[in-house]
Amino acid sequence: MIRRRDWFKYVFSSILGLLTVVGKPSIIAAQAINKEAQKRNQARLLTQIGEKYLNEGRASEALESWKSATKIYRQLGYEEGITGSLINQNLALQALGLNRFACNTLLQALKLNIDTEICAILPQKSTESTTKLLIAAIDKQKHLPVYLFAWHNLGDVLRLIGKLDESKVVLAKTLSIAGQTSSVDNHEILLSLANTEEAIYKHARNKYYEVEEADFKNEIVDLIQQQALKSLELYQQVNQVSANYPVTQLKSQLHHLSLLIDFEKCLTAELNSGNPKLVEIRNQIQQQIQPSVNRVLKNSSTFSQLSAIQLVYAKLNFANSLSQIPDQQLRSLAIEYGQSALQTAKSTSNQRIKSYSLGTLGKLQPEKSEAYFVKALSLAQSIQAEDIAYQWQQQLGNLYNKQGRAKEALTMYKSAIDNLAQIRDSMLSSNVDIQFFFQEEVEPVYRDYMKLLLKDSNPNLEEVIQTNERLQTAQLENFLKCGKLDLISVNEIPDLNSAYGIINIIDLDDTIEVILQVKDRSLYHYSIEANLVKENVNDLLWSLQDQKLATIDVEQILLPSQALYEKLIAPLASYLPASGTLIFILDKSFQSIPMGILYDGKNYLLDHYSIAATLGSRIRSPKPLSKKRFTALIAALSKPSPSLLDRNAPKGVRSLPKTFEEVKDVQSQTQSSLTVLDENFTSLRLEQEINKNNFPIVHISTHGQFSSDPLKTVLLAYDQVINIREFDKLLKGKVQTDADAIELLVLSACQTAKGNKRSALGMAGVAAQAGARTTIATLWLVDADSTALLMEEFYKELKNGIPKAEALRLAQLTLMKNPKYAHHYYWAPFLLVGSWL
């Protein structure tokens, strides 16, 4: 999907407003010595040259020109000149896609030292505390036009890096101040605020498709409606107040139209899923689409008032909107606007907008799409624009795949995946589009590539495994909004020392692919139709996530467990070792199933194998737990706490009074342990103890929840809920070196979010953030007495030198053989992620 880049939105303000403020000589300057006057003139000239370069799409040269201007203004000690030229540098950095650098540059322009992490992907401070600091900083600063312009830009950049709440606060506050100042036009700030509200809508819409909890879906549907309607209303306000500013009016009209179309699609999809309440709203939105098109067409002469680059993006935006309306006349008009945009792009030296124009025409004209996509790709590659190259490679891959040109399709898909890796590893990882639309637009590239690989009569199974690994790692990094994770592939471990099997279970929508790798590196592959498996998966998850699991008839669990064994494991069972360790790399809903529960009619997998899961077949380097380093930090909640009342706490949970027994058992089996309990178990105390003491074992017995929504992946300290973003901060100092890494993290009272088949992604996220070699957690809320017994047995086996996965298996078997705890509810929920040694 092509999204219009709007980093040139303030160029007219920069030229007509900022240069007036920055470049106008003062009385003092007029009386200064000739050398100083020359420097001022030189800085003004450099500013003007930078504007010219930016309008031509030469952002790198614009940046250098403005850096030179900034240097001169610093030499002169001219504060407004420094501020203005830094704001200009921000515009160039946005144009280069370096949004976090742009953000930091604006902090310099505003002389903000309040929080150096405002621009970070994962700030250590909460959104609430950051927004309070920002409001205080705006109130404190002089309300000069140049500073309001900087705050306006900061609001835009915060949106571009995904800081939507912060962006909204900054823009709303700036708008309020601008409304009291006659020297500042507030229509552009209002437009920016509308854009941020729309981004919040899109973020909510994307969450709706990723998160499966029924309660949360109901909440998010309401939020989606509220945000869409709020954004539409703001765009209408901009349209009204900017009657004398046709460019701003045109921008608001284009946004209004594209949002109407997107919201109508979203409502239609929700209606198809059985929500009749939205019929009236959907009908109202549909009725507004054609009048919205007419408003843009009526204002079409304004396109000519835009700079060449702005004009191209605006026309492509309009063409993209028109193409989504089921009307042949409008589709023809979309092609006309696309062709017009291309002609304008050709008149510039900007290869990026030429590539976008060609790619858009490729989508609009299927009969000519190959030629357009090939040219678009060539241009993108010529300027190393991986963030657009992957889109055309994906389109060509899909096209070649449909035409039966498998070899060419494979080449394109692989190249697209390679480019996506480059994007994630570079500063473009802050690209909010890639973050928000990962599941919708990015994930299909990986899955389509694997599907095509497996169509071959002799498929390259190693390439399939590596692609699945890259997909799952990308999913996790996108979930955490982090950079590259410090993990290694299971296949890179030279000698695993014991019998094992690595089982990849990959969901490719129509088929479920099972690939087994055994100790001698041999690979075995089995494929089955997805509809023959998914019903069993759903039935099993429905039972395991039932609040009354402890009383469910065992047969209700055994039937789908046995069916899954027969369909997934039995076809390859003859290649498995008789005993040892099975390492599962699981996809989608399979991630929430404890695989040891699979049943062959006589025995569970757990009867013969220790079980481990990995993060896309990537783990921290496996290493046994040293008997000499058997000290533990134990944190637990046993009584009611303020955190239980937090809106992000798991629903319906209560205090855990029997936690004392588990704590005593862990203390008795470990050495020199430190325990923080109840009021002492605060988030600050936990952070302090983890980071100042070198505990190889961290055992936390508190409520927690794993979800595919990062904000709902939480642990409860006494004083507050700790979400996964804050968990990274809490453990930040501990994982700086491999020698000090947590060897074993145990979370013994957690649960996966009900109705969320991808909630184990949250568990993988916690494991990755902890930096622990091994993480053991529970998939549902467990019984306190049986858990205390299991933990006692687990640590006893560990102390005897038994590998972690095997120690957990033996502890689970102890419960299974105890008639009191033989039900799956007691022994099955424990999942080991990472190193099994």
- Using CA atoms, how far residue 424 sits from 123, 429, 583, in Å, is 18, 5, 27
Provide long-range contacts, Cβ within 8 A and 24+ apart, for 735-738.
Answer: 735/770, 735/771, 738/620, 738/621
What's at 376, amino acid-wise? A
Of 584, 471, 590, 470, nearest to 530 by C-alpha is 590
Assess whether 656 and 583 both reside in one domain. no
Residue 401 lies in a domain: no
Report how far residue 176's alpha carbon sits from residue 109's, in angstroms, rounded to the nearest whole number. Answer: 21
Instruction: Identify which of 222, 104, 80, 239 has the alpha carbon closest to the alpha carbon of residue 161.
Output: 104
d(CA 240, CA 187): 10
Listing DSSP states for 463-521 in one string gives: HHHHHHHHHHHHHHHHHHT-S----EEGGG-S---S-EEEEEEEE-SSEEEEEEEETT-
Residue 11 pLDDT: 36
Enumerate the β-bridge partners of residue 832. 776
Which ranges of 299-405 would DSSP assign to H, the alpha helix?
308-323, 328-346, 351-364, 369-382, 386-402
643 and 586 in a common domain: no
The DSSP code sequence of 138-149 is HHHS---HHHHH
Residue whose entry in the numeric block shows the structure tokens 């005593």:
664
Place of tokens 């949970």: 653
Judge if 586 and 638 occupy the same domain: no
8 Å CB contact between 638 and 678: yes
Is 638 in the same domain as 770?
A: yes
Q: Is residue 758 part of a domain?
A: yes
Profile the chain (837 residues) by mean pLDDT over runs of 10 residues: 35 35 41 75 95 88 96 94 95 89 94 72 61 89 91 95 92 93 85 97 84 70 92 97 95 98 91 77 95 97 94 97 96 98 94 96 97 98 93 98 98 96 64 63 93 97 95 83 63 63 94 94 96 94 92 97 98 95 91 95 97 71 75 94 89 87 92 92 92 90 87 90 80 59 89 74 78 89 94 95 96 97 97 88
Distance CA 832, CA 837 (A): 11
Final residue of a structural domain among 613, 642, 659? 613
In a domain, 551, yes or no: yes
584 and 692 together in one domain? no
Could you say which of 567, 582, 613 is where a domain stops?
Answer: 613
Q: Which helix (H) or strand (E) holds 618?
A: strand 618-619
* Domain ranges, residue 502: 493-613
We report the CATH number of the domain holding residue 772 as 3.40.50.1460
How many residues are recorded in the chain? 837
Q: 569 lies in a domain?
A: yes
Cα 391 to Cα 410: distance, rounded to the nearest angstrom: 15
676 and 702 in a single domain? The answer is yes
Residue 598 sits in the same domain as residue 676 = no
**Residue 350 φ then ψ, to 5°:** -90, 105
Residue 162 sits at the vertex; the CA angle it makes with 158 and 166, to the nearest 5 degrees, is 50
| 415 in any annotated domain | no
* Cα–Cα distance, 565 to 561 (Å, whole number): 6
**Is residue 49 in a domain?**
no
The answer on 588 and 721 residing in a single domain is no
d(CA 810, CA 795): 11
- DSSP string computed for 285-312: HHHHHHHHHHHHHHTGGGGGGS-HHHHH
CB of 449 closer than 8 Å to CB of 410: yes
Instruction: Give the span between the Cα atoms of 803 and 790, in whole angstroms.
Output: 16
3-state helix, strand, coil in the chain (%, to 5): 65, 10, 25
- The radius of gyration of the chain's CA atoms, rounded to the nearest angstrom, is 29
Does a structural domain hold residue 66?
Answer: no
Q: Are residues 516 and 642 in the same domain?
A: no
In sequence order, which residues have a C-beta less than 8 Å from that of residue 269 and are 6 or more positions away? none
Q: Give the residue among 684, 674, 658, 504 at the shortest CA–CA distance from 595.
A: 504
Specify whether 766 is located in the same domain as 654.
Answer: yes
**Count of domains forming the chain:** 2
For residues 175 and 193, the answer to whether their CB atoms sit within 8 Å is yes
pTM over 0.75: yes
The answer to whether position 824 is within a domain reads yes
Handedness of CA 527, 533, 538, 544 (dihedral sign): negative
* Rounded-to-integer distance, Cα 64 and Cα 18, Å: 18
Q: Which of 555, 587, 613 lies at the terminal end of a domain, its last residue?
A: 613
HSE-CB at 444 with a 13 A cutoff on CA atoms is: 10
Same domain, 671 and 770: yes
Mark whether 567 and 607 lie in a shared domain: yes
Q: What are phi and psi of 26, to 5 degrees?
A: -85, 170
Half-sphere exposure of 682 (CA within 13 A, CB side): 6
